[in-house]
Amino acid sequence: MSRRNKRFIIPYLLVAIITLTLSSCSRSLEIVKREVVQMPYRMVYVIGVDDSLDMEGFIIRLHARDGYTTEVAFEDSEWATVRYEIDFTIPGEYEVFFYWGDINFGSMAIQVIATD
């Protein structure tokens, strides 16, 4: 193999090796399971007092493909969201759905109550 050919092949080999290495690393860090460790502190809301959902205290455990686990406070995660339709002026039980990106991994019921 000529010296000129080696100069062109070596960069391509390096790119291929780096790509394979990074792709295997990112796969091992892939989140494969999400579970609720602790529900939010607030599950009951009062008409005329509360007007928004409070997710403080909600803890999620994340499981990576390589076996690594970590716990994350819901409000500190940029990937975690909730979806709900709650009318804080009408008493009743409402369902709140938890999402990690586009993946739904659970729900909880909250109550809106009147003071009288």
Over the stretch 81-101, which tens digit does the pLDDT of each residue have?
999 999 999 999 999 999 988
Q: What are 43-75's pLDDT values in tens digits?
A: 999 999 999 999 999 999 999 999 999 999 988
| pTM as predicted | 0.69
Domain architecture of the chain: domains with CATH: 3-113 (2.60.40.3630)
Q: Compare 11 and 76 and report the one with higher pLDDT.
A: 76
Q: 38: which strand partners? A: 59
